[in-house]
Amino acid sequence: MKKSDGLSDNRNSKVKTGKRLLITGAAFVLAALSVIVYNRTMEHNACSFTDSVMNNIHHYIDSDKQLDETDDIFFSADQEVLQENDYILSDEIYFEYQNYYFTGYITIPELDLELPVMSDWSYDNLNISPCRYSGSVLTDNLVIAAHNYGNHFGRIGELVPGDEVIYTDPTGDSYRYEVSVTEVLKPEEIDRMISGEYDLTLFTCTWAGTERVVVRCEKKET
């Protein structure tokens, strides 16, 4: 009789353990699905935003309308703005959209990408657009960061030496570069990232988020 009770208790214990494991497993699956849905939503919103920015930029740059830097869409820094924003240079012109400022846009023909570049970097800004991380095209040390969304910088690791990258400022002037090298850096290698050895640098996180895919570019001879 005691032996039978023991077997029954053992079965009940296994059933309870199994239920707990199933509940825990289901919780993990739901959490993973929530993360996937969240990431997809963020990516969708970011792509919609950058598409909208580009549509507005092209309305002025690619239309027959004569560009006028006094137009309300253009922003030129005054002294007060310069003092409050270290990322803004006095001799740059910015494109303004929904109270965000853009230094221009990049085109990567090999990846069929055309993306605006927000003038200053922050985690919030990076969630919706590629951002200038440091430097400028005017000083030949521009570094641009973006999330690894498929329609942002998620595929830059596919670029090979010789591929072209074009940067266009808000007034339509273009700067042409070619990929020199692609490398992978650790997140803490910030000094190496912005060392200034290359005219243009693009970078994003790897899919695991533990490293950075970095594409170095040199300005083409004109």
> What is the domain-level CATH number for residue 158?
2.40.260.10
Q: Let me know if residue 6 belongs to a domain.
A: no
Q: Let me know if residue 5 belongs to a domain.
A: no
Q: What pLDDT is stored for residue 94 in this prediction?
A: 79
Q: Let me know if residue 120 belongs to a domain.
A: yes
Which residue do the tokens 């243009």 mark? Answer: 200
Q: Let me know if residue 180 belongs to a domain.
A: yes
- CA dist 196 to 83, 120, 141, Å? 24, 18, 5
Chain-centroid distance, C-alpha 49: 12
Contacts of residue 164, defined as CB under 8 A and 6 or more positions apart, other chains included, come to: 108, 109, 110, 176, 177, 178, 179, 220
- Percent of the chain residues topping a pLDDT of 70: 67
Note whether 118 and 124 are within 8 A (CB). Answer: no
Domain count across the chain: 1
Mean pLDDT, residues 110-118: 95
Q: Let me know if residue 12 belongs to a domain.
A: no
Q: Is 157 helix (H, G, I), strand (E, B) or coil?
A: helix
Q: Let me know if residue 22 belongs to a domain.
A: no
Flag whether pLDDT at 198 surpasses 50: yes
Token pair for 197: 């050895």
Note whether 209 and 186 are within 8 A (CB). Answer: no
Note whether 107 and 73 are within 8 A (CB). Answer: no
Please list the residues that pair with 95 across neighbouring strands.
74, 102
Q: What pLDDT is stored for residue 196 in this prediction?
A: 73
What is the b/e burial string over 82-110, where b = at least 16 CB atoms within 10 angstroms of the residue's CB?
Answer: eeeeebbbeebbbbbbeebbbbbbbbbee
Q: Let me know if residue 213 belongs to a domain.
A: yes
Mean pLDDT, residues 5-16: 62
Structural domain of 66 = 37-219
Q: Let me know if residue 184 belongs to a domain.
A: yes
Lowest mean pLDDT among 25-39, 62-76, 91-105, 189-203: 62-76
Q: What pLDDT is stored for residue 164 in this prediction?
A: 97
Which residue do the tokens 């498929």 mark? Answer: 150
Mean pLDDT, residues 199-222: 91
- Strands 200-205 and 212-219, how do they pair? antiparallel
Q: What is the pTM for the complete model shown?
A: 0.74
Flag whether pLDDT at 68 surpasses 60: no
